[in-house]
Amino acid sequence: MDALEDPVLAQPVGLCCLKGSIHSGEPAGKIVQIGGVDTYVATPDKTTSNGHVLLFFPDAFGLHINNFLTMDAFAACGYLTLGVDYFAGSWKNKHMSSTDRVAAKWARDVEAEYGPNGEVKFVCAGHCWGARFVCGQLSKDGFCKAGAIAHPSFMNESHVIGIDAPILFSVPVTDSLFMPEQRRRAVEIMTEGKKKYNMQIFSNVAHGFASRAFLSDPYEKWAKEQSFKSFVQWFDFWLSVS
């Protein structure tokens, strides 16, 4: 499908994807190799584990402190959380062409390693760069029961058309990469396709708020935390009825 047949909904990564606050904290997880790809693994406590696995597709910062802490937070909510380093330690100029291939293979390797008996349920989350990979895992060819994305980039209509499992969007009211007209078109596609979806829209935050909010700003901190809570509640609900 060429560009004329597959209009862009969320624009490619721009400078806004590199702005925001660097958070502080000590990551609790570890990096292992899955299918030859560095993978951050955040493991829930045995008393809180729900037995499910969350695939995390990070923003343009890749495996970075902010994303480590987010994955640790998902683990604290009971999910064994796995994050992929599709940039191989670098950023888009070097690895743009390979991230789709790496992400797809990595997801299959994760499924083979963590869910071979079919008892484990999978969900997926993605910020910015990771949004389209979440869409892919929610297609008929994917294996995730539900997904959630925040401030997407590099997302075309075909990514949304192909969604076949519940999806949550968490977005700013004004985002230069996902403008209101494209947001309305995404809603139109999902509504016409009778897809299970929800979209939460936050005012007074920018692209990247869910991963790089300025925590010194009370409202930005609240919006980031609310977005995260919505992801977890979305996953918990759909897994409870699947």
Q: Is residue 151 among the annotated active site residues?
A: no
Residue entry with tokens 């309305």 = 184
Contact 26, 220 (CB under 8 A): no
- The total number of residues shown for the chain amounts to 242
Distance CA 129, CA 152 (A): 7
CA-CA-CA-CA torsion sign (85, 88, 91, 97): negative
- In the DSSP assignment, the letter for residue 15 is G
Q: Is residue 45 among the annotated active site residues?
A: no
Which of the residues 17, 124, 128, 135 is marked catalytic?
Answer: 128
Backbone angles phi, psi at 167, to 5 degrees: -135, 140
Among candidate residues 208, 146, 147, the one with its CA nearest the CA of residue 175: 208
Distance CA 206, CA 178 (A): 11
Among candidate residues 84, 27, 30, the one with its CA nearest the CA of residue 54: 84
Q: Is residue 124 among the annotated active site residues?
A: no
Residues with a known catalytic role: 128, 175, 207
